[in-house]
Amino acid sequence: MTDVRAVKEREAAVIDNGQSARVAPSRSLEVLSQLEVSQLHGTSLGSLHEVFRRCALAVLNSGTNTDDARAVLEQYRDFDIRILQQARGIKLEVVNAPAIAFVDGAMIQGIKELLFAVLRDIVYIDNEIQGSGRYDLTGSGGITDAVFHILRNARVLKPQVEPRIAVCWGGHSIGREEYDYTKVVGYELGLRGLNVCTGCGPGAMKGPMKGATIGHSKQRIRRGRYIGITEPGIIAAESPNPIVNELVIMPDIEKRLEAFVRAGHGFVVFPGGAGTAEEILYLLGVLLHPGNAELPFPLIFTGPRSSADYFRRINDFIGATLGADTQRLYRIIVGDPVEVARAMIAGIDEVRKFRLATSDAFHFNWSLKIDAAFQSPFEVSHESMAALEMHAHMERHTLAANLRRAFSGIVAGNVKDRGIRLIERYGEFEIRGDRRIMRPLDELLASFVAQKRMRLPGSHYVPCYRIVA
């Protein structure tokens, strides 16, 4: 407890004191072209510079306990980051940066590495993915190819390495008991040599990584991987936790989700709120594709025994909306971290055997079929939310896709700067559909609110949505 208190006291002491510094890259992106530098010097809202500035601020703010992107931007409205092109390469100059990123005047090494990872991905995506014309980002194959190249450029894909990436999803605003449980599960995964990939933020994204570091240490695994995959709209609200040692910024939420399912070998889902429900619906919608019927895909929902009611409600919602057959795509394990880890090891072994038999790569799941409805970016607005069709007679994968989009809109209204501003200006999003779908949806969301899963504990939640049956 003393160590935890000391960390919190340090955060409180430095949080408001901005610092400036110049830092050089230590792992990647030592040089930029003149065109890339000029693009990053733009100042208009929506420019590449603004995207880079916001993502960089999130990285420098790592370790703070907030999910309010706008509050962070307001607190550090004088923050800026500049590219310095020099004869021997580049440096980054940060101005009025969060002091928590520094110790005794020097930027923390891990934060510096993540900062240059942000620069690497922002530059690569703008120039090589979106600006090159080499990828058809309106077609399914082109999108998957783009996801592959972003991950390869970030050096996340490791050929000739046995499958061992466990993707862990869950809420950033979970309570202490659930957070401690995620650490124990991570510990058991780490003891068995599995690496951890999460959305890189706090809560259920940090806990498994923290536990895995101890498991890896006990097994003398010195190159444990703690992969964080995010996107510009999310990272501002969920700064990378300090354990992440491989950070990837994807262009949007859909490519972020595809990156998880292509690079991961097994999935563990902890309790969460709207964002976790979005991820669950994405997974289930993808797995409902007929082409994935024979594909091994370990998927476990787990939490402490006190979370049993949470998973009961999730399970009931899935059964009521997507059918009992869909419930067979996952396993619920409550209060047993050892069994979770053993089941994950067994599931990943099946993945290994399948990919050997089908000559598919260990490092990227090419065999997985993803429908275009799960790849096309969903632009959240009042009009797009109201236009979502959700009826009991729809094909299940289409219904799952639209339910996923509805939760994506709720996440935007809850924590994303643009979504928050839309709600303040025009009021709540309207979510419309068949009563047979809207009723279980409303009940699930109400349970999230009652269990305080929409905001960090202690804050009052004001709904950003209205259900219309």
The larger pLDDT score, comparing residue 26 to residue 73, is at 73
pLDDT at residue 439 tops 80: yes
Residue 306 DSSP code: G
End-to-end CA gap in the chain? 49
Lowest-pLDDT choice from 8-22, 58-72, 303-317, 334-348: 8-22
If DSSP codes are grouped into helix, strand and coil, which group holds residue 378? Answer: coil
350 to 196, 266, 296, 343, 357: CA distances (angstroms): 18, 10, 6, 11, 11
CA–CA separation, 42 vs 39, rounded Å?
Answer: 6
Rg (Cα) of the chain, in Å, rounded? Answer: 21
Q: What letters, b where the CB count within 10 A reaches 16 and e where it falls short, cover 285-301?
A: bbbbeeebeebbbbbbb
Nearest Cα neighbor of 408 from 237, 281, 278, 257 is 278
Residue tagged 């429900």 (tokens):
277
pLDDT average, residue stretch 96-115: 91
pLDDT (tens digit per residue) in 266-277? 999 999 999 999
CA–CA separation, 80 vs 347, rounded Å?
Answer: 46
Which pLDDT does position 137 carry in this prediction?
Answer: 92
Which pLDDT does position 458 carry in this prediction?
Answer: 57
Confidence of residue 400 (pLDDT cuts 50, 70, 90): very high
pLDDT average, residue stretch 248-273: 97
Share of residues in the chain with pLDDT > 90 (%): 72
Cβ neighbour number for residue 5 with a 10 Å cutoff? 9
Ordered by start, the domain boundaries in the chain are 2-134, 137-469
What is the DSSP pairing of strand 266-269 with strand 299-303?
Answer: parallel
pLDDT average, residue stretch 28-50: 61
CA–CA separation, 130 vs 381, rounded Å?
Answer: 23
Q: Cα 116 vs. chain centroid, distance in angstroms?
A: 19
Six-digit token pair at 269?
């889902």
User: Which helix (H) or strand (E) element contains residue 36?
Assistant: helix 34-40
What is the DSSP pairing of strand 89-97 with strand 331-334?
Answer: unpaired
CATH architecture, domain 137-469: 3-Layer(aba) Sandwich (3.40)
CA–CA separation, 124 vs 132, rounded Å?
Answer: 10
Confidence of residue 461 (pLDDT cuts 50, 70, 90): confident
The model scores a pTM over 0.85: yes
Residue 45 DSSP code: T
Residue 241 DSSP code: P
pLDDT (tens digit per residue) in 59-93? 998 877 666 667 777 888 889 998 887 666 678 89
Confidence of residue 469 (pLDDT cuts 50, 70, 90): confident
Mean pLDDT of the chain, nearest integer: 89
If DSSP codes are grouped into helix, strand and coil, which group holds residue 370? Answer: coil
Which pLDDT does position 1 carry in this prediction?
Answer: 46
Which pLDDT does position 44 carry in this prediction?
Answer: 41
Six-digit token pair at 291?
């082409």
pLDDT (tens digit per residue) in 265-312? 999 999 999 999 999 999 999 999 999 999 999 999 999 999 999 999
Which pLDDT does position 43 carry in this prediction?
Answer: 44
Residue tagged 């999910």 (tokens):
67
Which pLDDT does position 456 carry in this prediction?
Answer: 57
Which pLDDT does position 4 carry in this prediction?
Answer: 52
Confidence of residue 132 (pLDDT cuts 50, 70, 90): confident
Confidence of residue 26 (pLDDT cuts 50, 70, 90): low
Lowest-pLDDT choice from 20-34, 345-359, 405-419: 20-34
pLDDT at residue 9 tops 50: no
pLDDT at residue 460 tops 90: no
User: Which helix (H) or strand (E) element contains residue 334?
Assistant: strand 331-334
Six-digit token pair at 74?
């307001």
Which pLDDT does position 21 carry in this prediction?
Answer: 83
Lowest-pLDDT choice from 120-129, 148-157, 208-217, 243-252: 120-129
What is the DSSP pairing of strand 195-198 with strand 165-169?
Answer: parallel
Six-digit token pair at 388?
């979502």
- Which homologous superfamily is 2-134 in? MoCo carrier protein-like (3.30.1850.10)
Which pLDDT does position 36 carry in this prediction?
Answer: 65
pLDDT (tens digit per residue) in 377-387? 999 999 999 99
Nearest Cα neighbor of 294 from 230, 362, 235, 358 is 358
Which pLDDT does position 22 carry in this prediction?
Answer: 82
DSSP class per residue in 121-164: HHHHIIIIIISSS-S-TTSHHHHHHHHHHHHHHTT---TT----
21 to 105, 106, 107, 108: CA distances (angstroms): 8, 8, 8, 12
pLDDT at residue 253 tops 60: yes
**Spatial CB neighbours of 437, under 8 Å, sequence gap ≥ 6:** 321, 390, 391, 392, 399, 403
pLDDT at residue 256 tops 90: yes
Share of residues in the chain with pLDDT > 70 (%): 89
